[in-house]
Amino acid sequence: MSDFATRLLKWFEVHGRKDLPWQQNATAYCVWVSEIMLQQTQVQTVIPYFNRFMRRFPDIAVLAGAQQDDVLACWSGLGYYARARNLHKAAQLICADHGGRFPQGIEDVVALPGIGRSTAGAILSLAMGQRHAILDGNVKRVLARHNAINGWPGTANVANQLWNVAVRNTPQSRVSEYTQAIMDFGATLCTRTRPSCTQCPVSADCDAFRLNRVEQYPGRKQKSSKRLRTTTMILASVAGQVYMERRPEAGIWGGLWSFPELGEQSLQDWCDEELGGEATETLSWDVLRHSFSHYDLDIQPIVVRMDSHASRVADDDTKTWHRLDAAPPGGVAAPVKKLIDRLKRLENGAHR
C-alpha cells in the first residue's frame, strides 16, 4: 500500500464520515442511487432526497417498474433531471439484461445510462470491495494539488495524468475505505477554498503546499460570460386549476411538467389554438430569473383567466388541467414550483 493511501486511511479512521444513510446498507443499489444524486450536489442536500427516494423505490425492480412521472416527482428540486431519467432507464436495462441484479463487471456498469468510469468505480468499490480508482471533483482537486498537476481537469491530457495518479494510489486492500476516505478528504479538508492544510495528513509531500500555491490547483476553465435567455410562460387558470404540459425528453427539464411557453404568436391566438377558448383576464407578473450552469433564464409569467376548460386537453397524456390543491402530475422544476405556489396563494385569496 502506498504511503499516501496509508496516511489517508489513518485520517479516515478518526475523521471520515461513517453515518451517511447509504453507508448503513451499502448495497450496489443504495450506493448507485447515492452516487448519482451526489453528482454536482452537496451531501447535506442529497440526504433527504435519498431517504425519500429509497422509501418510494426500495429496489431496482420497483424503480424499473415505476412511471417516469413518479421518478421525476420524487427527484423534484434536486436539479439536473437527466440524472433521474438515466437512473430509471438504467434500472429497466438491469432488469432486462442482468436479471434485476446490479452488474459486477465495470464494463457492464459503464455501459449503463448516466454512469461513467469514476461513478462505476465508486459503486463497485464501495459496494463490492473491487479495486477501481475514482476521479470525482473532490478527488481531482486532491490529486492535482498533491502532485501539482497544472491545467484544467476537463482536458484529456490533464485528466489522463490524474487517472494515472488515482490508479497508482488506489490500494489492493481496504479499497472501499480508501475510496470513501479520499472523497471525504476532498469534501471536508482539502476543500476548494480555504483548505485546512495544517490538519492535512498528506501535506508533508504535497507539491502545491510546498510551493505555497494550494488554491491555484486544480486549474480552472477559462470563464466565458453567461448568456441570457428569455421566455414567456402562460399560467392558464380555470376554477382552481392550471393548464400544464409535459416537456419533451430532450432539452432543459426534459420529461418534467411545466407551463407552456409563448412563441411568436399572440397570446389570444395561443389560447384559441391550444385551449379553444378566449382569455377573460390576463395578469403579468414580475420576471423570474433562474440560473443554469451556462446561462440565465428570465421567465415572464402571464396569468390567463379562462371561462372553461378545453375538451381537447383531456385526451392527451402530455397535457393536463392540474388542480392547485393537489400534488403536481409529475416532476416540476424549481421555478415552476415557485409559480404554482404563487398562483395557489392568488387563487386562495380570490376565493376568500
The set of residues, in sequence order, having a beta carbon less than 8 Å from that of 205 and lying 6+ positions away, is: 4, 146
Angle at 216 (CA atoms; ends 295, 290), nearest 5 degrees: 15
Quick one: pLDDT at residue 350?
54
Quick one: pLDDT at residue 63?
97
User: Of 5-19, 33-47, 49-63, 314-328, where does mean pLDDT reach its minimum?
Assistant: 314-328
Query: Of 134, 85, 109, 95, which Cα lies nearest the Cα of 32?
Result: 109
- pLDDT tens-digit map of 88-139: 999 999 999 999 999 999 999 999 999 999 999 999 999 999 999 999 999 9
Whether 35 is a known active-site residue: answer yes
| % of the chain surpassing 90 pLDDT | 72
Q: Check pLDDT > 90 for residue 312.
A: no
The conformational region for residue 27 under phi > 0 = left, psi -120 to 50 = alpha, else beta, is beta
Q: Check pLDDT > 90 for residue 49.
A: yes
CB 235 within 8 A of CB 245: no
Quick one: pLDDT at residue 351?
47
Count of residues in the chain: 352
The set of residues, in sequence order, having a beta carbon less than 8 Å from that of 134 and lying 6+ positions away, is: 118, 121, 122, 125, 166, 179, 182, 183
For residue 345, give the H/E element and its range: helix 334-350
Quick one: pLDDT at residue 276?
79
Strands 257-258, 241-246: pairing kind: antiparallel
Strands 227-238, 295-306: pairing kind: parallel
- State the pLDDT confidence band at 352, using cuts at 50, 70 and 90: very low
Q: Check pLDDT > 80 for residue 164.
A: yes
Rounded CA separation 256/25 (Å): 30
Backbone angles phi, psi at 85, to 5 degrees: -65, -40
What average pLDDT does the chain have? 91
User: Active site residue: 35, 177, 245, 274, which one?
Assistant: 35
Quick one: pLDDT at residue 310?
56
Give me the sign of the Cα torsion angle 78, 83, 84, 85: positive
Quick one: pLDDT at residue 179?
96
Which spans in 224-266 are helix H? none
Q: Check pLDDT > 70 for residue 250.
A: yes
Quick one: pLDDT at residue 100?
95
| % of the chain surpassing 70 pLDDT | 96
| Local structure of 236: helix, strand or coil | strand
Quick one: pLDDT at residue 305?
87
Rounded CA separation 138/30 (Å): 21
- State the pLDDT confidence band at 308, using cuts at 50, 70 and 90: low
Quick one: pLDDT at residue 279?
77
Rounded CA separation 44/46 (Å): 5
Assign a CATH topology to domain 227-350: Nucleoside Triphosphate Pyrophosphohydrolase (3.90.79)
197 alpha carbon, distance to own chain's centre: 30
Task: Label each residue of 115-161 as H, E or C.
Answer: CCHHHHHHHHHHHHCCCCCCCCHHHHHHHHHHCCCCCCCCCHHHHHH
- Please state at what angle helix 43-56 crosses helix 28-37, rounded to 10 degrees: 130
Rounded CA separation 214/199 (Å): 14
Domain regions of the chain by residue span: 3-216, 227-350
Q: Which CATH architecture has domain 3-216?
A: Orthogonal Bundle (1.10)
Quick one: pLDDT at residue 264?
82
Which amino acid is located at 131 in the chain?
R
Angle at 113 (CA atoms; ends 110, 114), nearest 5 degrees: 85
Quick one: pLDDT at residue 315?
53
